[in-house]
Structure 1
Amino acid sequence: MVSNTSTLDKLLEDVRACTICNELPLGPSPLLQAGSGAKILIAGQAPGSKTHEKGRPFDDQSGKRLRTWLGVTEDQFYDPELFAIIPMGFCFPGTGKGGDLPPRSECAPQWRRPLLDRLPAIELTLILGQYALDWHLGDAKSKTLTGTVERWQEFWPDALPLPHPSPRNIRWFKANPWFEADVIPVLQKRIANLIKKRP
């Protein structure tokens, strides 16, 4: 059990030592980032094999596209006092026929709420992909990811549902040009304003 009195630093230490899923194909190696002053929460799915090898979240092509969407540099993105990166699963779950497997189900019940409770400065939550949408939006989401993203203004400015920035979603990006035309400029403006507020 997680103690209610645990500090964020102690909790992060506990998460990074987690071995709940020690039978994972590449072994447990939790990847996340958080600081108590973080303004923006990135709620993703789970690390891929490349980010597992590098030991840093979103250090891949998905991360490059995400940083482009946000209009930020690598230094800004990996500043834990700006961005908290808390995926639904902290470790690479393995690969199936259709790509990476879903985030492990053990992770969120054990760690997610205690971590989010220790991030009091979050003003914007970016929700990437179906599993994160299920957890953060619940019944408020539409039946499809596209339907939820199309309703983005209903959740703005506190949260923003997003497609996953994976290269596997290139067909979605081409089929939905309104996303980069209408949503991304608004997102970049809000991100820039939140960065300016950093002490």
Structure 2
Amino acid sequence: MPHDGHDHDHEGSELSPLALRVKALESLLVEKGYVDPAALDVLIDTYENKVGPRNGARVVAKAWVDPAYAAWLKRDATSAIVSLGYEGRQGEHMVALFNTPQLHNMVVCTLCSCYPWPVLGLPPAWYKSMPYRSRAVIEPRAVLAEFGLNLPETTEIRVWDSTAEVRYLVIPMRPENTGGLGEDELAALISRDSMIGTALAGAAA
């Protein structure tokens, strides 16, 4: 499954009726000069990969360095996240899922594409795709392998179905040898995918 983010080129692909309408509207706006395609790509990239995910990364980094905050996040993720200024639609009812060496959490929305916008920004294209939505539940280990994440057989993989009522934020394990790093430096190690559960924290996001 491709997971390289936004792509305007849908030639040869099968689109839903809604996606076709959006594509037609976008083409019309571009044709009339109301929208600059390059600017639109930059805007989408910003919300998919920078602004939104940076919020979630700060939540995770604080949980890594502050045990009291981590405990609050486990008990009441919505309030803990709001305390950092991240709130709004699609983030009213949050649950934090903490990864451990024994348990790896992974999030999917099998019905549509429910996603915690205040902490992760726009959902990536692959998150909304039917292959991910269906296969993540049936064969999560195989799907993770396609993302390049091969977990030990002894690690349980738990899949959580995001809904309109509850949305999830995965708290990845803190990488080893990061004891001397501050929150800002740690946040740079946390990617959007690691907070969905399709990657580990580690390399600079």
So what's the TM-score if we normalise by structure 1? 0.26
* Structure of greater Rg: 2
